[in-house]
A and B are shown apart, each in its own frame.
Chain A
């Protein structure tokens, strides 16, 4: 069986074949679309019409009208078939969605339809959130920074908690907190592992920021908090211990990649979040001490960055952070009447320097200099 091919004689023919194939693909797609629209106009809600939408959605999952029609079909079928069969239909849809998601992980409509299917299963008491949890973990393994994936993960976790607190009817408030805390601790560890893998991950840091107050409050509700995940409890003893732990974590990230926005924004959140600052302000000078320490760190890093730079420029993120931290320090001084103005000459000089190295945001910096924009962003 030889298939040695002379290139010259074949390339033209091959091109024609390919073109033909493409043409037929497009024709097929058009035909499908037309078919489905006419089916919908005739209010056809059958398994066959379902198949048609499957075909088209596998080609183009962004075609949201098709998802709508698909749900309409399900709504009608639901009333006409046994609940077992409907559950099976939903399961099959989840499988199909998994296949499509692997190919199109960033299409909102697929995630949206998945949520819908799960709520349908909730209605008939057939939902398996644990399985969903595994599914989303797997998808995030493929792309750990997929925003939709993280969004969906929070959705699943939230429902796992609801299920844990309603379905099982726990004996006591303490037990209920234990279960919910357990779920949230798992999530916290999950963000840690994703951050360790690659700390440049907005979604992971964001998830972490929502988990921290939650876990802390859940620990507060426990009768014997130190017995639940002692290693995690060590971090969560007080807002202060959490802050120390987190600042240490980002310090490494900062040194490794001073250009990474996600690290800096998380740091800004840590230094300005009420959850931490309220606690720190209870103790005289504690907040200022933290700010001074961070300022020293960032200034040290900035010096290293400057010595590496060909023109010895400041590092943009370091400088921005120096301005913020100095601003926060001034803010404290203003509160205690040690100082009257937020914008010291020192801070103004830094902003001037920023204008040079980050001319794109010149307007914003000029506003800050004139006091029209705050140097302390609302995060």
Chain B
């Protein structure tokens, strides 16, 4: 019956060629019965989903590329302060794997050094029933693993369609993210150490403006 710790917020960015299933993967994660009572939400900004790993609760803020990668027009803002990234490719499309290499390189250049990256080969459902002679698979597990080892990434093969391994990606990332200094239980203050202002704090509950006398 202890009081739960506040969730750690983690900014996670998605990268990968169009149509490899970035959206489906996240959609599967956020709308799955992954955790009861924790409804995923989408607003204008990004998707959020809470995920409890052991004692910790991680609140993922999942940024999709919103199409801005199509013409290589991702803004610096996209990478800024991202603590985690998922680079997705389609195991039936070799070109998407090449593109994945590109995104990993881009992440090393643009993102912070201690970012946790997961390489994800999606569409596992398409190769599940494959026979050896006739396979849709064009990128082998070994190739994926190889790249991941080379670059120090987590590696998963998933199916957004059957939800195979999807949650594991997010749990895997969550357990690799270093524990941030947790905030105190009484979060009345609107600024933290960084001087960041919480714009969501209700101005109506704030003390009346000093010059705002009873006139």
Is any CB of A less than 8 Å from a CB of B in the complex? yes
Residues B205 and A2 in contact, CB atoms below 8 Å apart: no
Tally chain A residues at the interface, Cβ within 8 Å: 20
Minimum CB–CB distance for A54 against chain B, Å: 13
The distance in angstroms between the C-alpha atoms of A102 and B64, with both chains bound, is 35
Number of A-B contacts (CB under 8 A): 43
Residue of A nearest to B46 (CB): A1
Note all chain B residues with C-beta closer than 8 A to A3: 42
Interface of B is mostly: loop
The 4 lowest CB-CB distance pairs between A and B, nearest first, are A1-B23, A1-B64, A200-B214, A142-B205
Q: Is A143 located at the chain interface by the 8 A CB criterion?
A: yes
For chain B, the bracket of interface size reads 20 to 34
Q: How far is the CA of A194 from the CA of B22 in the complex (A)?
A: 54
Given contacts A3-B42, A257-B213, contact A141 B207 (CB under 8 A): yes
A62 at the interface (CB under 8 A from B): no
**Which residue in chain A gives the minimum CB-CB distance to B47?**
A1
Residue of B nearest to A2 (CB): B67
Give the chain A neighbours of B188 by CB distance below 8 A.
102, 138, 141-142
Other-chain contact of A143, B26, B64, B186, B205 (Cβ < 8 Å): B205
| Inter-subunit contact B208/A198 (CB<8 Å) | yes
Could you write out 21 A-B pairs with CB less than 8 Å apart? A1-B14, A1-B23, A1-B64, A1-B65, A1-B66, A2-B66, A88-B1, A92-B1, A92-B3, A98-B186, A102-B188, A138-B188, A141-B207, A144-B207, A145-B208, A197-B207, A197-B210, A198-B207, A198-B210, A257-B213, A260-B213
Contact among A1, A92, A138, A200 for B186, CB-based, below 8 A: A138
Within 8 A of B (CB), among A144-176: 144-145
Q: Is B215 an interface residue when CB atoms closer than 8 A count as contact?
A: yes
* Interface residue ranges of A125-150 to B (CB < 8 Å): 138, 141-145
The answer to whether the Cβ of B206 comes within 8 Å of any Cβ in the partner chain is yes
Across-interface contacts of A145 in B (CB, < 8 A): 208
Chain A residues with CB under 8 A of B186: 98, 138
Interface of chain B residues 56 through 93 with chain A (CB within 8 A): 64-67
Q: How far is the CA of A70 from the CA of B213 in the complex (A)?
A: 41
